[in-house]
């Protein structure tokens, strides 16, 4: 995905989230939203630890698109679990952010 295409598609995701939630979420909030969607639970209040777990679920779900993780099933509380299939490449912060954003774009375009 070239830089211009990336910017346009990321802006579309931000606009969609802003329209839905009334403000543009940062990366953590975006991951939290994806984690909640993947959990698929009616629960609306989460502890700090659960929020971290939800962001982890989001990252694993996103990176499963590229074969880094695969779902292993759900525990008795309904929380999804993943296993690492291949290690995620080492990246700098900017590279890592773009890598995640590209996966977020693909997630919302599905």
What is the number of structural domains in the chain?
1
Entry pTM: 0.91
Whole-number pLDDT of residue 44: 80
List, in order, residues 6 or more apart from 62 with CB less than 8 Å away: 34, 100, 103, 104, 106, 107
pLDDT tens, residue by residue, 72-105: 999 999 999 999 999 999 999 999 999 999 999 9
Q: What's the domain range around 69?
A: 3-109
Give mean pLDDT, residues 15-23.
Answer: 94
């Amino acid at each position: 995905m070239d830089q211009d295409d990336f910017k346009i598609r990321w802006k579309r995701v931000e606009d969609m989230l802003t329209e839905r939630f009334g403000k543009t979420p940062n990366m953590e909030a975006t991951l939290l939203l994806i984690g909640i969607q993947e959990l698929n639970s009616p629960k609306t209040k989460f502890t700090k630890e659960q929020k971290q777990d939800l962001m982890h679920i989001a990252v694993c779900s996103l990176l499963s698109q590229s074969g880094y993780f695969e779902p292993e099933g759900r525990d008795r509380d309904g929380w999804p679990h993943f296993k690492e299939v291949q290690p995620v490449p080492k990246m700098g912060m900017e590279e890592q952010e773009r890598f995640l954003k590209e996966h977020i774009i693909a997630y919302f375009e599905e």
